[in-house]
Structure 1
Amino acid sequence: MTDKRDDLSQFSMLDLFRMEADSQTQILTDGLLSFERRNDPSDIEPMMRAAHSIKGAAAIVGLDMVVQLAHGMEDAFLAAQAGKLKLTPNRVDALLAGVDLIVQCSRVNDDMDAWLAAHGARIAKTMTDVQGIAFLPEPLWTPSAYAAPAAPPAPPAAPAPLAPAMPAALPAAAGAEPPPAELAPEPGIPGRALPPMKNAQNFDRLLALASEGRINAHQLHPLIQGIQRHKRNQATLFSVLEELMEAASHASDPTLKEKALLAIQKSQPLKQFMLEHITDMENYERRLLIGSENMVDEVLALRMRPFRDGIQHFPRMVRDLARSLGKDVVLQIEGDDTLVDRDILLRIESPLNHMLRNAIDHGMETPQERLAAGKPATGTILMEARHRAGMLNIDISDDGRGVDPEKVRRTVLERKMASEQMVAAMSQAELMEFLFLPAFSLKGSITEISGRGVGLDIVHDTIRQQNGTVRIETELGKGFRSSITLPLTQSIVRALVVDVKGEAYAIPIVKVERILKVAQSAVHTLENKQFFDHDGEHLGLVGAAHLLELGELEPADEMPVVVIGGNTRRYALVVDRIRGEQSLAVQAIDPIFGKMRDISAAALLDDGEPVLILDVPDLLLSIEKLLQEGGLHQLTRSDHAGRRKMKRILVVDDSLTVREMERKLLVGRGFEVDIAIDGIDGWNVVRSGDYDLVITDVDMPRMDGIELVNLIKKDLNLHKLPVMIVSYKDRPEDRARGLAAGADYYLTKGSFHDETLLDAVADLIGEAYR
């Protein structure tokens, strides 16, 4: 049996030092942040041990600079433990700077001499601060000191630190991470990246095999049911034989009686055989199901990581960023041992970071403002992670100033995003939805702190891409709360399976609001839109068969309905039948098919039947377009084609105002106009309709206009479709790039006026009517 210590033989001494530095510097960071807040002497002992361990490990690999730095930190902790040194925030800053330097030094893989020389000034300053930490001034920690800290007096002359030794270059460890391009550019050091999996393809293959094993186990069930039916038929046969024996016993022919008795005797072992083997098969099925489920769970467990692995650097970031803004904020984390899929953890780190920075910059007041409002001078942000109903819930709440709904109303009106009457009628929840729109910010100036002037749209989009949802609540003067719901893993999705025209489709449970049955008598029609009332809300109806281009919905007295979406975008999808919930092993669709409209992935049901998983955000866009034409009973393609008299134009633009202006101009001239909100949406729409012209912007999320033009011009069915680009970019190279992609016309918004657009459209496709 191999001793665990043998597993370390493949690592160099420098590799081992990196491992030691990673764990011990995290202890130092956590300890310093805790001691700064609690002033608990029990926090000092673990930090002393951590500094001592780093010093010893650095001495072994010859990093004299780290040895001296760790020794200075150890001395500071000893003095603090003896009550001779008070670890004030400015001294904690110096010690944290030393921790950063150790981390960054440990990650250098190339020429150590060159790295030390390149950062000599920073190293010298940090060494001076740590070794002369007792001479650093102690600031007066009054509320005013947070907002406008006075310039500290010049410290007394401190003992000059020993010159850091320049060790010989150490060989780079095989497979080690490359060094950071520069020292941390913002407060706090970057979070330690999760270690990469050995082989992601092997994991995917292992999960696929485990899922196939589970499917095979489930396929035993119909086999056992068939044998049970055979057993019942056999029992009927035995009953007939017994009746035959009874009749033969009264017959005069002894041969008949003898043969009947022989038949009864021969049947008895068959009956016993069937009973024993059915029991054996049922036990085998149960063991196989348990084993296959456990195998899937164990494979998934390989990807699961504690929540703390993705957020362990957040408390430091919050502390440093708040101090840089003259604020005092502490981050409290609950549920840091909650298990999360490593891929999800990696992808949500940036949105969570953005939300914390947003809370500090926008939401938190200065200490004097908080004291004047009757709050503690120190602001608190609480981040909670927990499992709930098979999902991951992350709540982020703060006790800051919150968001003023009236300020949101004014901003919406100023940007002309809705009419005054509409804005006045909006609820607070509807107003909060504007915070998720691109470039929507309540901050007057653009900063590098909380999104560079970008709103919460990046958070919303990232969470949505992970099949999650995010909701926000606020109370003016009391705080702001964000609630994120995500699947525990992207490899397995809990889904609602429905039938549409005999085909199975799956909808991720996280995207399902509720399931209902709606009577035909409860359906109302208004302006060709069908809806029904539920809890005081009008829910628009659309048939899934028509939406997925599978035909028309078969009428029924009661219609199974799945409500999808949320807040102001909630719709009812009519299906043929609801099968129930299943856990599905997600399988990506071959890239050769590209992005399939309304479809995100595929899977196999428990009985081995293939199923397509619906892309709900994409589905909502398609539903909105269908609802503009009717709802539940949509016109077929032939009817639609028969009634077309006007030429159709597709307008693709992510700007609501530009999109609406172009639509009104074209409709006023007699054209039939459809809209798409970005490149992906436009590509989906143009393939499903019959258009005479596409008008597109260039700069759009998900897919820009140039990519859209390229796709249209390379498609065998669409390459002759005229495309006009309307863009703010008016440089000759921008125009050349658009025309090179295949655009038939390039119009700049800078010189844009009504007749310019209409004249250009007339040049390309003529008048509106055929």
Structure 2
Amino acid sequence: MSQDQHGDLSAFSMLDLFRMEADSQTHILTDGLLTMERHAGDAAAVESMMRAAHSIKGAAAIVGLQVVVQLAHGMEDSFVAAQHGRLKLTPERVDVLLSGVDLIVQLSRLDDAGAEAWQAANATQIDQTLKAIAGIAELPALPPLPSPPSRMPAPAAPAPALSGLPDDIQAALAGEMAALLGAPPSLPSSPDAAVAAPPLAPRSGSPAPAKAAAQNFDRLLSLASESRINAHQMHPFVGALQRFKRNQSSLFSAIEQLHEAIARSSDAGLIEKSLLALQKTQPLKQFVLEHIADIETYERRLLANSQGMVDEVLALRMRPFRDGIHAFPRMVRDLARGLGKEVQLEIDGEETLVDRDILARIESPLNHMLRNAIDHGMEGPYERIDAGKPALGTIRMEARHRAGMLSIEISDDGRGVDLEKIRQSVITRKMASPAMAAALSTGELLEFLFLPAFSLKEKANELSGRGVGLDIVHETIRQQNGTVRLESEPGRGFRALITLPLTQSIVRALVIDIQGEAYAIPIVKVESVVRVPQEAIHTLENKQFFELKGEHLGLVSAAQVLELGEADTSGEDLPVVVIGRGKQSYALVVGAIRGEQSLAVQAIDPIFGKMRDISAAALLDDGEPVLILDVPDLLLSIDKLLHEGGLHQLAQGGPAQQRRAKRILVVDDSLTVREMERKLLLGRGFAVDVAIDGIDGWNMVRSGEYDLVITDVDMPRMDGIELVSLVKKDLHLHKLPVMIVSYKDRPEDRARGLSAGADYYLTKGSFHDETLLDAVADLIGDARL
């Protein structure tokens, strides 16, 4: 660890620095021990472990942790003996050394107040671990597995041979075995002095700085994305200049033709003037050509710089894949030994970069996959030998970037999944009839493993059998806009293919129009985009559908789901976006398809809470705000709409002529608040205009006919109180209702607003959808006249 990596370390105490050192060096010890267990002659691994143990010993001596000094010293002696060939690091000896590593980790994380009491309460176990490491050379190795005759039944899981050892060493190993069988990796409590687990000292990097760093990142990404948007806005300007150049060329050509016509006349004065006009066109032509070239160069440079800025900001959030899975090899090894199996984990692509948030959220799903592979898929050593496989089973985890996505593959060489067992379980649980189950393909059968409470194990144990593994994996991956696919080859192995976005900060999305407003759908959630002719739409029981690739897909109006009113579907073809999978697939009818864009995701202001069917917001390349749809939420809303009935008919002409909608002017300098209020009111059927401050609002309210004005208080140029006063003093506007919506519930502001003539004063602190809509209804009633 260097100061360059962690900045100024002067603010940390010596104990904090020791914890950082111990955290880093114990990772080296764990990785080295796992390597030595499988490759006894790896001199580099022994050398790195010796250095790590020596570093821990020196650091512990500085902070006065004598127990850690003794543990590290004993481990260092073992590594020296292994280096000189006097000690072979068998799995049993590795168990003892790993228990020492766990104890060092636990001691390093004790806070100052509870450390002494905890060590005193657990003195017996600490002493046993020290003696076990000191007597490590006395541990016998288990004999190698024989090659049993073919079809030999697999025996019960062998227990490590502990007989013949001193009682204290047996006790220490027994505690370690208990931990391997499911207990957390810590010392067992003393039988005669049960104590609570010690409080852990805070790790370096407290939640507050981490939250501040996340907020700084969000601000940086917002600024970088706005810079990119500004760069994209140069393109229509350059296009306009190109059109100007073409128009100018036509004008110059007309001047040349006019000069040629005049030249054939006998009027010398007219000829001279036309020649002068022709000469003056030459520098103009050259000027435009040169400056258009300069502007195009500037546009390319601006686009490259802004995109580079976005890429650099995103790189700040990227972490190597190994940061999220460094504990997995040890976990696989320990769980396998606890089940009497021999399994190793091979990891490929540790340097693959992943967004830190995604990395944190997929750790649990990957953990579930590995546990399932060990418990369900991997055979015992005798069963593997009988099947012609090596006794040591292998699980491979590979992380790669593929097609702009993160691809994680987890495969094993175990027994695979019994497809017939799944089929029988489906029939037994009455999920399908025998005839339907018999027709299910391999992929369809494996999909059942993702269902809650679906398990192929008759008895549950500490690892699996309760049916709460793969459904959690599927749900978590789905929440990250990812997919997971299973493959199995009976007798040969099992494979899970997980695909995730590289980052949640930038999303590739399909931009659509709904009722003239832009919305976006993450492209990974879009199954297909089609145009459906009116004559291809069929109606059954008041539900409309069409056929796509042999499947009947139900048609649902996006405007109706989002409560934006009734869409105009009078065109010959309907633009349709297919979302969902399998039986939960729907064809969402939208207004228009704009195309794909990469969007910098921006969280919606927390004041609005979780908005139904909306996950986040963004800005399009032209600067227009867009809401990103939450597809899982959208599917739930569609299901609810179908159960309630009352779907709009999408075929056969446009909507009936409707009464005029009442118009509302929203005045607010906050883009987020302004847009959210506008969309809420549009959803209720009102016509809505927006203004960015008091001056803008005053100009608009005088030039338009409005039924209500909603204004903020604190705004530049003219605040909301002044705007209310001007409206109420105006001869033609004084009867116009005005509502004030303010973040600050200051009595003086409320008094000023009501004194100025405001008809309603609403604080944003208590603001939510229905509060605003109810207040509007109180003032002006329904949306239609």
The amino acid of 1:585's aligned partner reads: A
Distance 1:182 1:71, change over 3 A: closer
Distance 1:489 1:193, change over 3 A: farther
The structure 2 residue matched to 1:578, chosen from 572, 593, 598, is 593
The correspondence of residues 447-458 of structure 1 with structure 2, limited to 5 A, is 447-450=461-464, 453-458=467-472
* 1:321 counterpart residue number: 335
* 1:562 counterpart residue number: 577
Output the CA distance in 1 between the equivalents of 2:370 and 2:66.
37
The percentage of counterpart residues that share the same residue type is: 67
How much has 1:103 moved relative to structure 2?
Answer: 1.8
* 2:401 counterpart residue number: 387
C-alpha deviations, 1:162-208, integer Å up to 9, x for none? Answer: xxxxxxxxxxxxxxxxxxx993799xxx9x99967452111111110
* 1:412 counterpart residue number: 426
Output the CA distance in 2 between the equivalents of 1:150 and 1:202.
53
Distance 1:634 1:417, change over 3 A: farther
- Unmatched 5+ stretches in structure 2: 147-153, 170-183, 190-199, 657-682, 685-768, 775-785
Distance 1:498 1:415, change over 3 A: same
Q: Identify which range, 305-314 or 584-593, moves more after superposition.
A: 584-593
Matched, 1:232 2:232: no
Output the CA distance in 2 between the equivalents of 1:560 and 1:213.
32
The structure 2 residue matched to 1:293, chosen from 307, 314, 326, is 307
* 1:12 counterpart residue number: 13
Output the CA distance in 1 between the equivalents of 2:577 and 2:411.
31
* 1:38 counterpart residue number: 39
The amino acid of 2:159's aligned partner reads: P
How much has 1:445 moved relative to structure 2?
Answer: 3.0
The correspondence of residues 391-470 of structure 1 with structure 2, limited to 5 A, is 391-420=405-434, 422-450=436-464, 453-470=467-484
Matched, 1:183 2:186: yes
Distance 1:145 1:109, change over 3 A: farther
* 2:110 counterpart residue number: 108
The amino acid of 1:55's aligned partner reads: K
Aligned 8 A contact 2:456 2:465 in 1: no
The amino acid of 1:30's aligned partner reads: D
Output the CA distance in 1 between the equivalents of 2:315 and 2:118.
39
Output the CA distance in 2 between the equivalents of 1:84 and 1:254.
115
Output the CA distance in 2 between the equivalents of 1:450 and 1:228.
67
How much has 1:397 moved relative to structure 2?
Answer: 1.8
C-alpha deviations, 1:450-483, integer Å up to 9, x for none? Answer: 3855242222221111111222223333332222
Matched, 1:60 2:74: no
The correspondence of residues 195-274 of structure 1 with structure 2, limited to 5 A, is 197=210, 199-274=213-288
Aligned 8 A contact 2:345 2:394 in 1: yes
Aligned 8 A contact 1:146 1:367 in 2: no
Aligned 8 A contact 2:459 2:465 in 1: no
* 1:486 counterpart residue number: 500
The structure 1 residue matched to 2:92, chosen from 90, 93, 102, is 90
C-alpha deviations, 1:555-605, integer Å up to 9, x for none? Answer: 544444433223443333344433222110111223343433322222111
* 2:158 counterpart residue number: 148
* 2:727 counterpart residue number: none
Matched, 1:617 2:622: no
SS in 1 for 2:10: helix
Output the CA distance in 2 between the equivalents of 1:33 and 1:392.
27
The structure 1 residue matched to 2:485, chosen from 457, 471, 475, is 471
Aligned 8 A contact 1:545 1:553 in 2: no
* 1:125 counterpart residue number: 128
The amino acid of 1:586's aligned partner reads: V
How much has 1:499 moved relative to structure 2?
Answer: 2.7
* 2:621 counterpart residue number: 606
How much has 1:294 moved relative to structure 2?
Answer: 0.5
Output the CA distance in 2 between the equivalents of 1:718 and 1:465.
31
Distance 1:479 1:523, change over 3 A: farther
C-alpha deviations, 1:484-521, integer Å up to 9, x for none? Answer: 11111111111122233432221112112333444455
Output the CA distance in 1 between the equivalents of 2:36 and 2:161.
25
How much has 1:264 moved relative to structure 2?
Answer: 3.0
Distance 1:415 1:452, change over 3 A: closer
C-alpha deviations, 1:670-717, integer Å up to 9, x for none? Answer: xxxxxxxxxxxxxxxxx99xxxxxxxxxxxxxxxxxxxxxxxxx9789
Output the CA distance in 1 between the equivalents of 2:238 and 2:561.
39
The amino acid of 1:125's aligned partner reads: Q
The amino acid of 2:109's aligned partner reads: R
Distance 1:255 1:634, change over 3 A: closer
Aligned 8 A contact 1:469 1:485 in 2: yes
Distance 1:546 1:194, change over 3 A: farther
Output the TM-score relative to the length of structure 2. Answer: 0.72
How much has 1:427 moved relative to structure 2?
Answer: 3.3
Instruction: Supply the RMSD in Å over aligned alpha carbons.
Output: 3.6
Output the CA distance in 2 between the equivalents of 1:185 and 1:273.
84
Output the CA distance in 2 between the equivalents of 1:448 and 1:269.
85
Output the CA distance in 2 between the equivalents of 1:576 and 1:635.
14
Aligned 8 A contact 1:430 1:567 in 2: no
Distance 1:364 1:625, change over 3 A: same
Distance 1:473 1:3, change over 3 A: closer
Aligned 8 A contact 1:36 1:89 in 2: yes
Aligned 8 A contact 2:14 2:63 in 1: yes
The amino acid of 1:433's aligned partner reads: E
Output the CA distance in 2 between the equivalents of 1:303 and 1:290.
21
Distance 1:527 1:427, change over 3 A: farther
C-alpha deviations, 1:328-357, integer Å up to 9, x for none? Answer: 111111111111100111111111112211
SS in 2 for 1:9: coil
How much has 1:431 moved relative to structure 2?
Answer: 3.0
The amino acid of 1:554's aligned partner reads: T
The amino acid of 1:119's aligned partner reads: N
The amino acid of 1:445's aligned partner reads: K
C-alpha deviations, 1:132-171, integer Å up to 9, x for none? Answer: 1111232234378980315521325999xxxxxxxxxxxx
SS in 1 for 2:38: helix
Output the CA distance in 2 between the equivalents of 1:363 and 1:155.
34
Distance 1:388 1:46, change over 3 A: same
- Unmatched 5+ stretches in structure 1: 160-180, 641-686, 689-713, 720-770
SS in 1 for 2:617: strand
Distance 1:270 1:417, change over 3 A: same
Output the CA distance in 2 between the equivalents of 1:10 and 1:262.
78
The amino acid of 1:439's aligned partner reads: A
Distance 1:615 1:61, change over 3 A: same
The structure 2 residue matched to 1:136, chosen from 139, 147, 152, is 139
Output the CA distance in 2 between the equivalents of 1:297 and 1:238.
45
The structure 1 residue matched to 2:49, chosen from 41, 47, 50, is 47
* 1:25 counterpart residue number: 26
* 1:699 counterpart residue number: none
Aligned 8 A contact 1:445 1:453 in 2: no
How much has 1:309 moved relative to structure 2?
Answer: 0.1
The amino acid of 1:106's aligned partner reads: S
SS in 2 for 1:199: helix
Output the CA distance in 1 between the equivalents of 2:647 and 2:570.
14
SS in 1 for 2:580: strand
Give aligned pairs, total: 623
Distance 1:266 1:193, change over 3 A: farther
How much has 1:534 moved relative to structure 2?
Answer: 4.2
Q: Identify which range, 62-71 or 439-448, moves more after superposition.
A: 439-448
Aligned 8 A contact 2:225 2:310 in 1: yes
Output the CA distance in 2 between the equivalents of 1:211 and 1:224.
21
